[in-house]
Amino acid sequence: MKVAIFDSGVGGLTVLYSAMKRMPYNEYIYYADLDNVPYGNKDKEMVNRLTLRAVEQIYDLGVNAIVLACNTATSISADLLRYKYDIPIVGMEPAVKPAVINSLGKRVLVLATELTLKESKLRNLINRLEATDKVDLLPMSELVDFAEKMVFDGDRVRTLLDQKFSNMNLSDYKTIVLGCTHFIYYKKIIEQYFNYTIDVIDGNQGTVNHLEKILQGIGKENNSRYKKKSVQYYISGKIAKLSVFEGYMKYLEILDT
């Protein structure tokens, strides 16, 4: 089975990491549009254009399914891509529903890029859950830039989080939703700000679960051909070496311990 995971940058590596743990015998393609990262501060037309171009290149590689490991790209382009292509397109969306269920009467904080927070898809989801009075939205696009530069901790990150959380009563919250795959690199730091009293959730596990069911449904699981984890990396359409992303994957292993 050949599965492609697409993101504007390195955030989608968190999805790749989870998918490889769950389904290690698939053949994976990781496509990062590093020439155009980040997507979260671009306008809708540009994000749509970049996503369509990337997915066209990925489709030509003969994949069986594509995961849009980018909340911004999903919110803007997923429906069009599903109409255009004859293979499963698996999208990401902020895990607001389980967060609201888990909130136990307290507030939910959704962290995402500006563009994801502006999109009607997220607003409609919150409205359907009748949770507009308990869900707060906070843009954190700066974390995307930090992640791309492998700045996972230190004064710059903590100064940003100090500023973002300075006017908030952190004790009001029960659950935080990481609405961007890049933000997962900062999960443990964010937990510190809330004295480890909150639940921090993301959409990765649900996405990987959905992907697994889809692959089972189309009957092309492969548990024997690829004895070792097989990944081919691409940067904006060009084959890339593992060394470009190796540090991120090792950091995810550390976070997983």
Q: Which tens digit of pLDDT belongs to each residue from 180-236? A: 999 999 999 999 999 888 999 999 999 999 999 999 988 755 555 545 568 999 999
* Domain 2-92+204-255 matches domain 96-202 at the CATH topology level: yes
pLDDT of 221: 52
Closest CA to 234 of 79, 113, 59, 99: 59
> Kindly report the CA angle at 102 between 97 and 103, in degrees rounded to 5?
100
132 CB neighbour count, 10 Å cutoff: 9
What residues are labeled active site? 70, 180
Token pair for 128: 């359907």
Q: Tell me the CB-side half-sphere exposure of residue 162, using CA atoms within 13 A.
A: 7
Looking at residue 230, its pLDDT comes to 87
Would you kindly state where each structural domain of the chain is located, as residue ranges? 2-92+204-255, 96-202
Residues in the chain where the model's pLDDT stays below 50: 226
Question: What are the tokens at 133?
Answer: 């009075």
pLDDT given for residue 119 in this prediction: 87
pLDDT of residue 67: 98
What's the pLDDT at 117?
Answer: 93
Residue 93: per-residue pLDDT = 86
179: its two tokens: 């609405």
Q: Which CATH number fits domain 96-202: 2.60.40.10, 3.30.70.141, 3.40.50.1860, 3.40.140.10?
A: 3.40.50.1860
Task: Please identify, in words, the CATH class of the domain defined by 2-92+204-255.
Answer: alpha beta
Query: Rounded to an integer, what distance in angstroms lies between the CA atom of residue 243 and that of residue 253?
Result: 16
Give the model's pLDDT for residue 121: 87
Q: 34, 235 in Cβ contact below 8 A?
A: yes
pTM above 0.85, yes or no: yes
